[in-house]
Chains A and B, each alone.
Chain A
Amino acid sequence: MSRELLPVADGRRIRAVVGELLGRAKGRTVAAFAILVGATAIGLLTARLLGGVVDLVVAHRPAAELVPPVVGLVVVAVTQAAAAAVGVSLVARLGETILAELRERFVERALGLPLDQLERAGSGDLTARVTNDVSVVADAVRRAMPELGRSLLTVVLTFMALAVLDWRFLLAALVAVPIQVYTVRWYVPLAKPLYASQREAVGSQQQQLLDTIGGARTVRAFRLGDAHLDLVGQRSSVAVDLALRGVRLVTRFYARINLAEFVGLSSILAVGFLLVGAGSVSVGVATAAALYFHSLFGPIGTVLAMVDDAQAAGASLARIVGVADLPAAVEPARVARPVDTSVKTSGVGFAYVDGHPVLRGVDLEVAAGERVALVGASGAGKTTLAKLIAGIHEPSAGSIMLGGVALEELGVAGTRRTVALISQEVHVFAGSLADDLRLARPSATEDEMLAALEKVGALSWVDSLPDGLATVVGEGGHQLTVTQAQQLALVRLVLADPPVAILDEATADAGSAGARVLESAASAALAGRTALVVAHRLTQAVASDRVVVLDAGAVVESGTHEELVAAGGQYARLWAAWSGQRG
């Protein structure tokens, strides 16, 4: 299967989506910007007022005259602080609301993606977007953007203030700009690949530790300790070397920024010195100019250092918008309703790769309420057939009917309501157990949930959980055993209550105890439904109404357990080995 990554938005789409979201809060956007500009402008009065104090002293004015500018300083400090707080809060609100809206759209579209598209893209792509990219953008919205915005504003307004003091101060300050521009143009192309390989090295170092430490028992059993220590050492050394190269680059960057600071400050001081000497500005104004420029060191460093952060956030945003911007799924104009709960496939064929058919002309009829077990080697096409009937893939030949209606006429939502597929994948959703179960039936009452748990025999262990149904399970919560997690999948099936159910779960736990628990749970969950069970243990086949044996994508045997054992074919041989009678 060739990888076909999920879409990535171009600059135009990103601007359109972000613009649309900003447009919804036009008033707030304008207010936030205006207040921040105001706060920064007020802050610039500080240096002027300090210059005023200097001028008063130079003019040998009485000390009492110092009080007004000092009071002014206090007023400026308080007003600037309050305005900044309000402005920053407003900007945060704006950014966070847009972020929330984006991630909600993203999740909505992601969960709506057809599974075959997702499989072509590899689930890693989507997972990386929802974890890495969302957190990179969130971090930018929370930290980088406000800081970058405020710093940029401070820089621009300070330059304006310098011009107001005297246009020659502005020229002096601009002397530093070429050095800064050069520094950034030199730095970004070097930093980007270095940081990318650094992230990669840290990732593979962590992966190695996960491999080695997580698999410590295996490493010891196979006496691979020395080889693994070497690997850990190598991966760690690569990461260390890259980190040191990174710090060398960053310190060289700051050295150039320091040079720009020195050049700018010297020219401001020189201009001040000369202008004071010529009598065209006061000592206070020269002081203010020097203080302005000195206070720019921080903001300029921030703006320049964040250029590559901003680029990284842009790339992540493109991947988020790419998914959030996908069109919603379309339902057929007229949705047909199934007349019963039977399943019928006629001449169904399927290939993941052209020329390599996985299924060939499969005819299978399951009567309403019947339970059929699918038996066959891996690669025989059992799981593929299950996925086709559940509507996850479309057959390349033949047709599939649920309750006498073709799948395409049922539509996506109709198919989901009619048939449930419990696959080999087990996932316990993070959150309370009740929340997990309510995914299958949002309106479920506590009694309904308890009844469903009881039905599949899970009530006893749920009762013994620290908080019963309210126990937090899944990632970061109470760890359930694999058997318990598989039982939960069956409880969800009972709650979702579809007329047709397909079971394709393997018992991954050691020992037969878990398998037995699951088999009786599955039996209970399937009661009253038309069921197709992909049999991983032959006891599942014995318990079914009919057994269908698949081999190389085609049905080779079909009948009850007894009939097939008596027929002496492939199934009979399997059963003989299984039950201890050498065939």
Chain B
Amino acid sequence: MSTTGRDVLRRSIAGQGRSVALASLLTAGHQGGEALVPVVIGVVIDQAVAGASALTLVAWLAVLGLLFAALSTSYRLGARFAERAAERAAHELRLDIARRVLHPAGGTEAGNLAGELVSIGTSDAKRVGTVNNVLPFGVAGMAGLLVTAIVLLTRSVPLGLLVLLGTPPLLYLAHLIGKPLERRSEAEQERSAFASGVAADLVAGLRVLKGVGAERAAIDRYRRTSRDSLRATLRAARAQAWHDGSLLALTGIFIAVVALVGGNLAAAGQISIGDLVAAVGLAQYLITPFSIFSWVNGELAQGRASAGRIADVLAAPPAVGTGARALPVPSTGHVQVRGLSRGALRDVEFEARPGELLGVVATDPAAATDLLDCLGRAADPLSGSVSVDSIDLSTVDSQRVREVVLVAAHDADLFAGTIVENVSTGPLVEDALTAAAVDEVASALPDGVQTAVTERGRSLSGGQRQRVALARALAADAPVLVLHDPTTAVDTVTEARIAAGLASMRRGRTTILVTTSPALLSATDRVVLLDDGRVVDQGSHATLAVRADYQAAVLA
């Protein structure tokens, strides 16, 4: 199914169609009512001129009261419906995006940084949702314009035409005056935002600055940035002030013209005093619908752009196809790699026997990640195959593959929750915490294994994070576990302990350890050496240790 930005936008509006329609109706009532307020003021003035009775005044004030009640209620309900339509549509989009990104077949990460995908799920979903909030107000602006037109034209055609035809050129003029200023001020506001960015950046790197005694240099640099940014901001503020000023002047002059023409018509007896007052009030009011239109336009443009980005994610082709076959349960964990080529891999051939702890050393890091992708069916081989229990993985749905093969990536993320919650994805939590030396981590933390993990694990040090991630992988007790460099940030003493723990915990379960760490490799049953994407040798760590290329990859 191909999805375009237009589809996304249309579905998002249609999904909340009832709310959007109700909101449009109600906010239209509100703006129409706002336009009628100057008319009622005019009528009351007329009654005063005519020397009408106090009863008439009371009657007209009651009308004014009804008008206020009506416009206030329509606004209140209309704004609620509009906001509900916006929030709900954004919510649905967020879920759609998350569902697509998490789909077992993958494919959305290609060409997208994780941060970009997150921003599509938050800002872009919000922008598209906002279209539902904006559309009713656009309709309302039209209603306000319509009421004004009818009122003015029924009182006096020339005055009506003057106000209606005069407003658009007036706003266009203001737009022309404002345009170069706006563009400049946008660029300058960006530069001024830069100063606070630099401050945050320096604070983030505070330890690094202190490490090399660079505080003074950093303070001096910040002062310069701050002053530059101040100058830019002031230029922008001045430009903005003069832009607002010219709009103010233009509106004032326009009202003067309306007063002149209206005054002449009233003097000639063609319109009443009340009509004159209403015309002046409406000339002031008309700025509202037109500024609503320009706001709606801007939001729609942003909404369309965001919808396009969302469509790209939703329509991203899956990284792997589906598959109808199933892997036998329970799995023996017999992994065979036959003639596998993909990316940096050339005709790779090896097997991990049931229950074996197999080390894989790749001299090229790209070969290691390509192998991992194929083992977990995050990608399909270009040629050759990966099979488990003699069933080719490319014929098995990727969700089913992962029930048997767990690939724990090197930079695996932790999730919000406590350490133990992160690890509790499988049955063997206690053993895994010990094997991965998380018990040591926990003893240094305030609440032990109940310590909360925040900022995607960034609240822990690199070594602590790796150990928790490793424990999670071990706890899952997968029939086939593939680990990629799980201890690069762990100290050598602990690494040796982990190697022993890992080997004993996985005894009888197939484990493929893709790593260049000698401490881990020395615990394996057998090691496969990949050089330039090809298998060049297999044997124990100790026997391979005599090879120069193995030493260069592992021991150097």
Contact = CB atoms under 8 A, between A and B. Distances in A.
Interface in A506-523: 506-513, 515-516
26 contacts: A77-B249, A100-B195, A100-B230, A107-B203, A110-B206, A123-B206, A131-B196, A212-B98, A214-B118, A214-B456, A216-B108, A216-B114, A221-B412, A228-B98, A233-B95, A244-B87, A272-B44, A273-B54, A376-B491, A378-B444, A378-B464, A416-B215, A439-B217, A506-B489, A510-B484, A582-B542
B41 A429 contact: no
B218 A111 contact: yes
Given A63-B263, A100-B226, A236-B94, 9 more contacts: A50-B259, A66-B263, A216-B108, A223-B399, A255-B72, A273-B54, A420-B213, A440-B214, A508-B489
Contacts of B226: 100, 103-104, 107
A110 B203 contact: yes
The 6 A-B residue pairs with the shortest CB-CB distance, nearest first, are A77-B252, A416-B213, A85-B245, A215-B413, A427-B205, A81-B249
Interface in A414-437: 416-417, 420-427, 429-431, 435
B413 A251 contact: no
Interface residues of B, number: 168
Contact of B234 (A93, A113, A440, A492): A93
Given A82-B245, A213-B121, A243-B83, A392 B210 contact: yes
B448 interface: no
A496 to B, nearest CB: 4
Nearest to B71: A258
Interface in A529-566: 535-539
Interface stretch (B4-12, B329-337, B516-524): B516-524
A78 B365 contact: no
B493 interface: yes
Interface in A378-415: 378-380, 382, 390, 392, 413
Contact of B217 (A254, A272, A420, A440): A440
A93 B411 CA distance: 48
Interface stretch (A8-16, A162-170, A289-297, A460-468): A289-297
B204 A127 contact: yes
Contact of A510 (B201, B398, B488): B488
B201 A539 contact: no
Given A262-B65, A276-B49, A507 B195 contact: no
A50 B280 contact: yes
Interface string A211-235: 1111111111111110011001100
A192 interface: no
Contacts of A93: 234, 237
B98 A213 contact: yes
Contacts of A258: 68, 71-72, 75
Interface in A46-103: 46, 49-50, 53-54, 56-58, 60-63, 66-67, 69-71, 73-74, 76-78, 80-82, 84-86, 88-89, 92-93, 96-97, 100, 103
Contact of A232 (B73, B95, B542): B95
A144 interface: no
Nearest to A219: B102
A248 B195 CA distance: 37
Nearest to B415: A211
Interface stretch (B149-157, B265-273, B304-312, B340-348): B265-273
Interface string B449-466: 000000010000111100
Given A85-B241, A442-B220, A96 B255 contact: no
Contacts of B44: 269, 272-273, 290
Contacts of B472: 222
A430 B545 contact: no
Contact of B259 (A73, A274, A516): A73
B456 A237 contact: no
A538 B411 CA distance: 23
Contact of A103 (B41, B196, B242): B196
A294 B198 CA distance: 46
B406 interface: yes
Nearest to A576: B522
A448 interface: no
Nearest to A265: B64
A111 B555 contact: no
Most buried by B among A80, A127, A216, A441: A216
Contact of B416 (A207, A266, A413, A417): A207
B425 to A, nearest CB: 5
A108 interface: yes
B205 A429 contact: yes
B206 A424 contact: no
A511 B41 contact: no
B519 to A, nearest CB: 5
A173 interface: no
A295 B249 CA distance: 16
A532 to B, nearest CB: 13
Interface string B255-289: 11101100110111000010011001100100000
A489 B64 CA distance: 72
Contact of A118 (B37, B206, B414): B206
Most buried by B among A131, A220, A509: A220
A213 B403 CA distance: 21
A286 B48 CA distance: 9
A111 B209 contact: yes
Contact of A272 (B48, B71, B91, B521): B48
B554 interface: yes
A338 B210 CA distance: 20
Nearest to A241: B87
Contacts of B95: 229, 232-233, 236
A512 B556 contact: yes
Contact of B252 (A76, A92, A265): A76
A574 interface: yes
A126 interface: yes
B199 A213 contact: no
Interface stretch (A18-26, A134-142, A178-186): A134-142
Given A221-B376, A496-B214, A212 B72 contact: no
B201 A581 contact: no
B525 to A, nearest CB: 13
A115 B210 contact: yes
A1 B447 CA distance: 11
B315 interface: no
B219 interface: yes
A525 B456 CA distance: 33
Most buried by B among A57, A233, A375, A511: A511
B229 interface: yes
B267 A290 contact: no
B471 interface: no
B227 interface: yes
A510 B485 contact: yes
A317 to B, nearest CB: 15
B420 interface: no
A205 B253 CA distance: 49
Contact of A216 (B102, B122, B215, B233): B102
B476 interface: yes
Nearest to B222: A107
Interface in B475-497: 476, 484-485, 488-494, 496
